[in-house]
Amino acid sequence: MLCCCLLLLVPWAAAGQAESSAAAIREELRQRLEAASLPEALTIRRIPLSSADLIPPYYQQRLYQAAWIDQTGRPGASAVELLAAIEAVAGEGLVPEDYHLKALRALASILAARPSPTLAADLDLLLSDAFLLLGSHLLNGRVNPQTGEPVERVTGNQEELLAALNQIVTGTAEVQTVLEELLPRQAGYRDLRTALGAYRLMADQGGWPVLPGGPNLRRGDSGSQVAALRLRLGYTGELDEAATQGDKFDDALLAAVLAFQQRHGLDPDGVVGPKTLAALNVPAAERVRQIELNLERWRWMPEDLGRRHLLVNNAAFQLVLLEDDEEILTMRVVVGTPYRRTPDFSGLITYLVLNPYWEIPPSITVQDILPEIQQDPAHLEQLGIKVIQGWGAEARIVDPASINWQRLRPVAESFPYRLRQDPGPVNALGRIKFMFPNVHNVYLHDTPARALFNRVTRTFSSGCIRLEKPLELAALLLPGTPLETVEGLEEALREGITQTIYLPEPIPVHLVYRTAWAEPKGSVQFRNDIYGRDILLTSALAGPPASAP
């Protein structure tokens, strides 16, 4: 009978120990968090917590109950899952150590062997902070796209992040499932993430060989340089492995070179000249970095791009109209020069203007047009530009011949006139412009300079986007109206009247800068860093928030 009583007491003893352990950890958390009167004072193992303003009220709502530690005082199943997820974030182009990985591993290892309320409280707080910071980076990006600075604290989406944390802590969802929900949901992100794995594997295996310099290679050539070229194109899949042998520049190699040039935004002439050779010799590790940068840019995008939306990739000089992820229209575009760069942002096109006037911005007036007028006063008349003084009812047209142009200073803020170009064949905006009001004063428009679309690098505008097929785009944005066809638009344009046409349904437009992206069929595209933004983003990503334990 005594033995039976002892057996009955064992579970109660274990339960009592567990309850005592949980209470000790709860008291450690309470004292720790109540003592941290300022968020800046909340550090664990000399690591400042990135979510220090969220953690005290969160634990207070939980009555200071541990979130990640089980009843034995050891890391629970969710803690183990989060550690594994942090170790795997390199697959998203992120750095595991930014989320306290070294300190978390050390604490978890010690606690697994020897429970301690103090260390358990440390680990619980660090795990919560790691989850919230990682979740913030998955939702918003590691770098602030407006300032270019690394994001060291959890700021936006706080309610969503705390709700996600609660899903895990209450056992209603697994860590990996919750984190996946925080990632960009577009197929383009997933495809590029897959490409990162493939290119990282190539880089880890040593990458591809560097091709020697020499004369241009073209169809009909042969020799050791051609043999090296065949091997190189086998690494990135332009040639099948069976076709990588030999030293002849045949039709198969020509097709492979053309495919490579197309993937890298090069002139598809089939000749391996200096630019193609330079692209072939970019190391695999550099392509990995390029993909990581563009995964970060995906995390900056709005969660909902719009079922139907426009995507303008400045780095690729391309506009795409998409509907349910299907490309409806694609065209070449001209973007801003390196010193008048087209910005990245999202807007909403609400109307377009037929036969538009061009209100010339003051900066362009004083920097570009004033020097030409000073050289040739007839320049204004040739371009159909009027000189206007004043605004509204007081505005009046001024005779250019009455102005002493030589005495005017090239300062936009003090320039006393406005320049406006009349509609017509030489109007810089062409025959149509698409408006989405924004602080940058940037929009999409037609252009009379059609020859520029034949250039490979198309950085010629003052920041706005010039369109190769403006009428085709307008017709697709005006369904159910008399202007839903190119012919209808042409007829309206022939009237020569300036008209504002509102879209039946506004359409989102996203101006982005992507130097790497993955096509749906698996092909990975790369483009040059025309504005130097990859360099700046690389520097930002190399900074905080990693903290030494």
User: Which residues are designated catalytic?
Assistant: 445, 464
Residues linked to residue 308 through DSSP beta bridges, in sequence order: 323
Distance (Å, whole) CA 85 – CA 177: 10
How many whole angstroms from its chain centre is CA 141?
9
Q: What is the DSSP string of 292-342?
A: HHHHHHHHTS-S---SEEEEEEGGGTEEEEEETTEEEEEEEEEEE-TTSPP
Q: What is the DSSP string of 193-234?
A: HHHHHHHHHHHHTT--PPPP--S-B-TT-BSHHHHHHHHHHH
DSSP β-ladder status, 432-435 and 444-445: antiparallel
Distance (Å, whole) CA 282 – CA 286: 7
What would the two tokens of residue 231 be? 């091997």
Residue 93 C-beta-side C-alpha neighbours within 13 Å: 32
How is residue 393 annotated by DSSP? Answer: G
| Distance set, CA 58 to CA 52, 66, 73 (Å) | 10, 11, 20
| Distance set, CA 148 to CA 142, 145, 290, 296 (Å) | 10, 5, 17, 12
What would the two tokens of residue 387 be? 């000189």
Extract long-range pairs of 203-211: CB within 8 Å, 24+ residues apart: 203/283, 203/284, 203/285, 203/287, 203/288, 207/235, 207/283, 207/284, 207/285, 208/232, 208/235, 208/236, 208/284, 210/281, 211/277, 211/280, 211/281
Contact 141, 151 (CB under 8 A): yes
Q: What are the b/e assignments for 517-526, b being 16+ CB within 10 Å?
A: bbeeeebbbb
Distance (Å, whole) CA 216 – CA 232: 16
